Amino acid sequence: MGEHHESEASVNLQLAQPNPAYGKVSLIEPAPLGYLHLGAEVRPPARPGPIVPSRARSQLVGGLKVLGRQLERVDDVQKVTVYEAIAFAPPSSYVRQRSALLQPARFDVAVLVETESPGTIGAVRESTDGQTLVDYLTENSRRVHALAARNIKRVGDVDKSRPGTFLFNYFVGDDPDIVVELWDYLAGWYQVETGLNNSTLLAPLESEPSEFVVVNHARWDGSLLSVILKQLGKKSFRSYVLGNLDAHHVGAMPILYRRG
């Protein structure tokens, strides 16, 4: 799905279903960090919905937490967070219509390694502790997608120090610039309707292969049920969020997690 080259010129995006209640999301400066996102298929559910706990998944998460603490001692590593999926939201229709062409995001385990800068990701990845963690994840998963990324847009920092309902939303689309521009409006909806006050949009580094245009990370204080109701309980979710995803040929694959 290629990399995104950010441009100063704004894409001329025409919303399919404009709504005066929602504008572009309020942003702060992007974080200067580097990010290594590892998404793993361990025992993903066959269909969207809540995820049944698995002993194999729980054991893997426990091992990753130990290895993550070791990796945090490596130079240039700021934080390592392990996530266990609690629900797969239905992917948008763009993804369903291209199921034969796309490798969907079905990551029931994820790891996010934050480094001092994008330029330090390579050294961290190649360190003994970095390789040990990746090897352990790979050996215990059906598939692993690794993404070296930078933060291109930020609503606010995602607080990983305490429990909550976390989101990784994996985006694909016909035009990477449209995907990134549309995200501003979708995040604006979430800011109004769900009280979202944090989010980091991660884009692949140049020359970094990725199946996704961008990956969005966010967190809510509430339970899984409260987060779902704040979205699906709004009529505008279908008309504004899903409607604009479809109109602009953008696919979203949201997965909700808890911190491991």
Give 217-253 pLDDT, tens digit per residue. Answer: 999 998 999 999 888 889 999 999 999 999 999 999 9
Token code pair at residue 19 = 């709504």
Supply the Cα-derived Rg of the chain in whole angstroms.
Answer: 17
For 218, the 3-state DSSP assignment is strand
Query: Which phi-psi region, left, alpha or beta, contains residue 94 (left: φ > 0; alpha: ψ -120 to 50)?
Result: alpha
φ and ψ at residue 100, rounded to 5 degrees: -80, -20
d(CA 84, CA 166): 10
Query: Which residues touch 67 (CB under 8 Å, ≥6 apart)?
Result: 129, 132, 133, 136
Q: Looking at residue 75, what is its pLDDT?
A: 94
Q: Is the pLDDT of residue 8 over 60?
A: no
**Which pLDDT band holds residue 43 (cuts at 50, 70, 90)?**
very high
d(CA 200, CA 219): 10
Q: Is the pLDDT of residue 66 over 80?
A: yes
Is 179 within the bounds of a domain?
yes
Half-sphere exposure of 190 (CA within 13 A, CB side): 23
Is 84 within the bounds of a domain?
yes
Q: Which residues is 255 bridged to in the sheet?
A: 88, 168
Is 141 within the bounds of a domain?
yes
The domain tally of the chain equals 1
For 158, the 3-state DSSP assignment is coil
Half-sphere exposure of 5 (CA within 13 A, CB side): 1
| DSSP 8-state code for residue 101 | T
d(CA 143, CA 209): 15
Task: List the end-to-end C-alpha distance of the chain, in Å, as a whole number.
Answer: 29
Is 77 within the bounds of a domain?
yes
CATH number at residue 73: 3.30.70.100
d(CA 32, CA 164): 24
Specify the higher pLDDT residue, 245 or 12.
245
Q: Is the pLDDT of residue 111 over 50?
A: yes
Is 184 within the bounds of a domain?
yes
Is 210 within the bounds of a domain?
yes
| DSSP 8-state code for residue 239 | I
What residue numbers bound the domain in which 162 lies? 34-259
Which among 123, 128, 125, 116 is positioned nearest to 144, based on CA atoms?
Answer: 125
Q: Looking at residue 7, what is its pLDDT?
A: 41
Is 22 within the bounds of a domain?
no
φ and ψ at residue 234, rounded to 5 degrees: -105, 130
Is 21 within the bounds of a domain?
no
